Amino acid sequence: MSGLSQRQALMALGSVPGLGPVRTGRLLEAFGSAPAVLEAPASALRQVDGVGPEISAAILSWRSRFDLAREEEQLARLGADFILKGEPGYPARLSELPGAPLGLYIRGAVPAGPAVAIVGTRRATLYGRRVARSFATELARAGICVVSGLARGIDGEAHEGALSTGSTLAFLGCGLDVTYPPEHGELAERVCRCGALISEYSLGRQPDAQTFPQRNRLISGAADALLVVESDLKGGSMISAGCAAEQGRIVFAVPGRIDQPSSRGCHALIRDGAMLASSAQDIIDEIRHQYPRVTGRSTSESGPQQQQEMFGGAGPKLSDDERKVLGALEDGALLHPDAIARICVMAQPAVMSALMLLELKRLVARRADASYEMQASSRR
């Protein structure tokens, strides 16, 4: 026999390309344990459904590709662990699903209790960022763990909002020791202190086109409900929403402008039966059916005055030109200066002057494509 423990053997099997939790489960059923799988002859391995010559050869040659001693040493250095499905510390909701990973690399601690996943586009508008952060803040304040994927845009805002009042989990599309995106390294460290970083991939695994869709099923599976904040019709957020529906999770979506590409996915989800979320309280009320001890009332439920305070108070005084320009950018419009000039019937220099002053007052923001949009703090 190999002398490996079940945990060590599952770590080794997790490094085998193309194997995955479903085929690994079949192998365990056929051979009784993970160490026995690693010791089985190729002819016996190929008898298992889905295990052909390539996978069987990869299983038998695992030592040439995977340094177990180094993996364990790096895990200890990171302060992380490889936790088996069914053990304390493994996400409870995820363990209920067929095809869940048989082991997860976890750095931090997974909190008990309800969880809500928040996902959305990496190219979020300022409005979408503010909505994601405010929803996450209120959910965490109510004792609900916020789950997301540490990506740019909506994911990052969801983690930031949750960290301000509670806990959060980040599922990665890479190894725990890989920082992706690079600018979220400091955020990842804070997530570990108020929740956990989680991956099904061996240390050193770089993100690619396959790892992110696989990661998305874990984000939805670890939560009781999933909220989509800004998404086009295709992308990772829509994959996560589809996974959530298949897993029996509640799907929420935040509506947006009908002419905004980043709202198309959310509108399609609502049309197809997702619940419309106009405040965090909509989600909290649903979660309470499963977890009566969930506490708190959402700030955004308390009416226009509370919402105005949450988005920055009464705001500075504006000139007539500034009011005209700001009015053209209402309801999330993204406009270039020439379009604003046509709408407001103003000269281009006057528009540019008003935009500059509004930027200084932090009421509008210039985007990378030279268009402008209203900051959430100026929405009334």
Encode pLDDT of 337-357 as tens digits: 999 999 999 998 899 889 988
Give the model's pLDDT for residue 363. 87
Answer yes or no: is pLDDT of 370 > 90. no
Q: Span 367-376, mean pLDDT? A: 79
CATH of domain 320-378: 1.10.10.10
- C-alpha–C-alpha distance, residues 245 and 79, integer Å: 34
Q: Which residues pair with 275 in a beta bridge?
A: 252
Q: Span 321-341, mean pLDDT? A: 90
Give the model's pLDDT for residue 292. 65
Can you give the residue ranges of every domain in the chain? Answer: 6-66, 92-301, 320-378
Give the model's pLDDT for residue 141. 94
pLDDT in tens, 34-80: 999 999 999 999 999 999 999 999 999 999 999 999 999 999 999 99
Give the start-end residues of each E strand in the chain: 81-84, 103-108, 115-120, 145-148, 168-171, 195-199, 225-229, 250-253, 275-276, 364-366, 372-374
Give the model's pLDDT for residue 26. 94
Q: Which residues pair with 171 in a beta bridge?
A: 198
Q: How far is CA 126 from the centre of its chain?
A: 18
Whether the Cβ atoms of residue 364 and residue 373 lie closer than 8 Å to each other = yes
Q: What is the mean pLDDT of the chain?
A: 89
Reference 311, options 376, 229, 360; nearest CA is 376
Please state whether the predicted TM-score (pTM) of the whole model is above 0.85: no
Task: Look at the domain 92-301 and name its fold.
Answer: Rossmann fold (3.40.50)
Q: How confident is the model at residue 331 (pLDDT cuts 50, 70, 90)?
A: confident
Q: How confident is the model at residue 366 (pLDDT cuts 50, 70, 90)?
A: confident
Give the model's pLDDT for residue 3. 86
**What architecture is the 6-66 domain classified under in CATH?**
Orthogonal Bundle (1.10)
Q: Span 216-224, mean pLDDT? A: 95
Q: Span 220-226, mean pLDDT? A: 96
What residue type is 123 in one-letter code? R
Min mean pLDDT across 224-238, 281-295, 331-345 is at: 281-295
Give the model's pLDDT for residue 309. 35
Give the model's pLDDT for residue 307. 36
Give the model's pLDDT for residue 315. 54
